[in-house]
Amino acid sequence: MGKHDILENKSLKALILARAHGLQADRYQKYHFQIGVPIVIITTISGTSAFATLTSYGNAYPVIAVIAGTLSMVAAVLAGLQTFFDFSGKATKLATATNELSMLAGGHPTDEQIAAATRNAPRVPLSIQQTASKQIETELGAVHGRGVMNLVVNKANGSPPLRTATGSRA
């Protein structure tokens, strides 16, 4: 394997990692909305129900007060989970890493540059890296009329395995 092949592999590695970080960012953004939208709906319903319990209508139907209290607790738990997991913040860090890796993929990145681009991003699971690798392989194979080695799965060619977002070897 010549020097050009090694540089091409590092560019491909950066491209695959950029795609993987983008996929994971999309996933976290989806989680953020899956928790955030119910929070808005539940707090709106429980707030409206709370006003209903303050009127004579609420006194006639105490079940409304119980439902309002339960919805308020569910909304508080969901809001706490959303804050704890910080999916939006993680998605932003992953998107930043995606942009940096995409720029690196256009040149001749070093392992140190790739590691630096992913240092502050959350870890991307190996399954997401493999999905990204397969997508890139399909796209590049269609363009070049040949297969592209899967750097995540195929380590037999001597290329180093991909680094995860935390910098550890996958």
pLDDT class of 124 with cuts at 50, 70, 90: very high
| DSSP 3-state of 163 | strand
Question: pLDDT value at position 95?
Answer: 95
Mean pLDDT of the chain: 78
| DSSP 3-state of 169 | strand
Q: What tens digit of pLDDT does each residue of 127-165 get?
A: 999 999 999 988 887 655 444 444 433 333 334 444 434
Residue 146 amino acid letter: R
The dihedral built from the CA positions of residue 47, 48, 49 and 51, taken in this order, carries a sign that is positive
Question: pLDDT value at position 160?
Answer: 41
Question: With contact defined as beta carbons under 8 Å apart, do 163 and 118 qualify?
Answer: yes
Least confident residue range of 33-37, 52-56, 103-107: 52-56
Q: What does the alpha-carbon distance between residue 153 and residue 101 come to, in Å, rounded to a whole number?
A: 20
Question: With contact defined as beta carbons under 8 Å apart, do 138 and 3 qualify?
Answer: no
Segment 113-121 mean pLDDT? 93
Question: pLDDT value at position 153?
Answer: 36
Global pTM value: 0.67
pLDDT greater than 50 at residue 114: yes
| DSSP 3-state of 57 | helix
Q: What tens digit of pLDDT does each residue of 58-87 get?
A: 566 777 777 778 888 888 899 999 999 999
